[in-house]
Chains A and B, each alone.
Chain A
Amino acid sequence: TEADVISTVEFNQTGDLLATGDKGGRVVIFQRETESKGESEELGESGEYNVYSTFQSHEPDFDYLKSLEIEEKINKIRWLPQQNAARFLLSTNDKTIKLWKVSERDKRPEGYNLKDEEGRIKDISTVTSLRVPVLKPTDLMVEVRPRRIFANGHTYHVNSISVNSDGETYLSADDLRVNMWHLDITDRSFNIVDIKPANMEDLTEVITAAEFHPQHCHLFVYSSSKGTLRLCDMRDSALCDKHSKIFEEPEDPGNRSFFSEIISSVSDVKFSHSGRYLLTRDYLTVKVWDLNMEKGPVGTYQVHEYLRSKLCSLYENDCIFDKFECVWNSTDSVIMTGAYNSFFRMFDRETGRGVTLEAWRESSKPRAVLRTRRIYTGGRRRRGDVGVDSLDFTKKILHMAWHPA
């Protein structure tokens, strides 16, 4: 059903938990199976994830002032770095960010003096001796409770959240503004970027994604619908409208079409784990940028260039507006992004070579090797090649996360 469509995925820092958000406002957390049976043939972990917890994060809401419905769809989930036994994650819909505490309980106190096992108050006259309640193991229970609700910070639709490396703050970005929050404070946030023009007539670009630098807590980047990236340093000024660095690539005039602006809009931006590079996704390509070089990307990878001639029909069926995410692997040697027909693409940064893989539900054996696929775009057609016209555009891989291992 529509409400079950997954709208975001995110591993936690150790990779043993995978959180997914869906259009119905629910969050499902999966936990990695550990080998507990002691079977000697399987070394390491199985790679299978089972449901750990499910909870309703956001409900449909209504803005009475503007007579607008607020969708409950979860736009992003981000885990906080783990500090104790409990885990914390941030989830956001279009308007409100929530901090959830996920904790386990596998023991319960038993042997109360005044209550019986079901919790009913005992008749005092039946108590003949006193005892100290003890903790007894019980079935694992996962409790998820909302700890903070960061509301009313955004007029436009929130598209990104990013936890700062300082462990205390995070940013949230909507179409025109980026706010910085303290995790403990819900009634205030700092506005650090505001690109709303004085006259909305002059609006030419919107913010599409934002992320904090993985190591430097004063740096963050945001991408725009015009295909530019702006690196901002919060030490420069309180309001970071003026960027420290701007990364953009001049448009190729030969490729100009009605849809040039749409396909140059950046749908996702991610810092590399090293913090030196940026990965961006626009409609047809992924690009790697070096923070030290603003004039252009250091690598451009074609995801599905064969769609360039089909932009008009993709515009008609709205596929041209699909926002694909992109990810680095843990060593920053491979980048990955999604495409159509359940295909996704991986590019090796050293060799520059790309491979197309299919997310194949049927072969759901753990650790199964996915098959490599090819799109037929001319030349010799091999068996198994898929023609461009037979691509299923309803099967799109938009969201992805790479396990941190």
Chain B
Amino acid sequence: MEYKVEAHRIMSISLGKIYNSRVQRGGIKLHKNLLVSLVLRSARQVYLSEYYSGACLNAQNEREGNEWDITDSEREKFPPSATECDRVESTEEPQQSEQSEKGRDYRENDDEVKSDQADSTSTLQQEQNQNSSLDSVAKVSSETPPETSNEPKESPSDSAVAESDSTPEANGESHQPPKTQRKRSAEESESGDSPQKRTKVASSNAEESEEAEEMDTSNVSNLITIFGSSFSGLLSKDGAKPEAEDSGQICCDQMLKNLNPWSTAIVAF
């Protein structure tokens, strides 16, 4: 259990570093961000393996349900990473890249807004585009409640790659903090919602990587709309303890969104 806490902490720190690297002088340092993304990926794997160690079965069932929405091309990518548990326990990148691809297709079919997490294998271009699209998105989310105050450290960031980099600013990060904050509160109010949340994580990862891809196409306005719709739900909750079933649902989403940026952040380059 303590591994999970440690992994979580390392993930937050890593995301903070990626975020900060976007605003530092001299552009993104490819080497450092690559190393940070490797750490992030390892931590995430440990974290998710801890998280899902008890819920493999549930995850699998949920995933079946989610799969119905996805296209065939996506479906064929599913088998290699059938369960969250498998995915987490394996350290193979191919699986993760499949995840992200899966996520990509999945998103197109999904109305739900997912945050810009990408799976660890997203592309640099993705991150860049994410960054640019996130900037606008971030503005939307920045208006969300107070939790944003101490955020920047924890926000997952999409690191822009030095290479194709024209990404503007760190706005994407402000986007993240609210989610991070909410995730905490979501976790606190977890108890009854856990199974639901767990399964959601599985799908959200996929969705988030999709988001990464989608941003790749710079569909900023669509993103804003999508985020807007989902954020309205988040806004109303304002990180408060959920009481109703649907609020629990939203908390799940929040938590998932939080997880997603972390996986996405790795791919910045």
Contact = CB atoms under 8 A, between A and B. Distances in A.
Interface string A316-330: 101001000000000
Interface stretch (A144-152, A183-191, A255-263, A363-371): A255-263
A258 B42 contact: yes
B212 to A, nearest CB: 10
A70 B28 CA distance: 11
Interface stretch (B116-124, B139-147, B172-180, B247-255): B116-124
Contacts of B165: 66-68
A208 B46 CA distance: 28
- Using C-beta atoms within 8 Å of the partner chain, give the interface range for chain B: 35 or more
B171 to A, nearest CB: 14
Contacts of B122: 201
Interface string B65-90: 00000000000000000000000000
Nearest to B266: A201
Interface in A68-96: 68-71, 73, 94
B26 A69 contact: yes
Given A155-B162, A203-B124, A265-B35, A68 B10 contact: no
The interface centre, meaning the residue of A67, A176, A203 with most chain B CB atoms within 10 A of its CB, is: A203
B204 interface: no
A199 to B, nearest CB: 7
Contacts of B166: 65-68
Contact of B32 (A66, A261, A321): A321
Contacts of B17: 318
Chain A interface, >50% SS class: loop
Contact of B168 (A67, A69, A203): A67
Interface residues of A, number: 35
Nearest to A205: B34
Nearest to B100: A201
A70 B6 CA distance: 36
Interface in B81-136: 93, 97, 121-126
Contact of B162 (A73, A157, A261, A312): A157
27 contacts: A67-B168, A68-B27, A68-B165, A70-B26, A71-B25, A71-B26, A156-B30, A156-B163, A157-B30, A157-B31, A199-B123, A200-B163, A200-B269, A201-B97, A201-B121, A203-B124, A204-B93, A206-B34, A258-B7, A258-B10, A258-B39, A258-B42, A258-B43, A261-B35, A261-B38, A262-B38, A262-B39
Interface of A: 63, 65-71, 73, 94, 155-157, 175-176, 199-206, 208, 225, 258-259, 261-262, 265, 312, 315-316, 318, 321
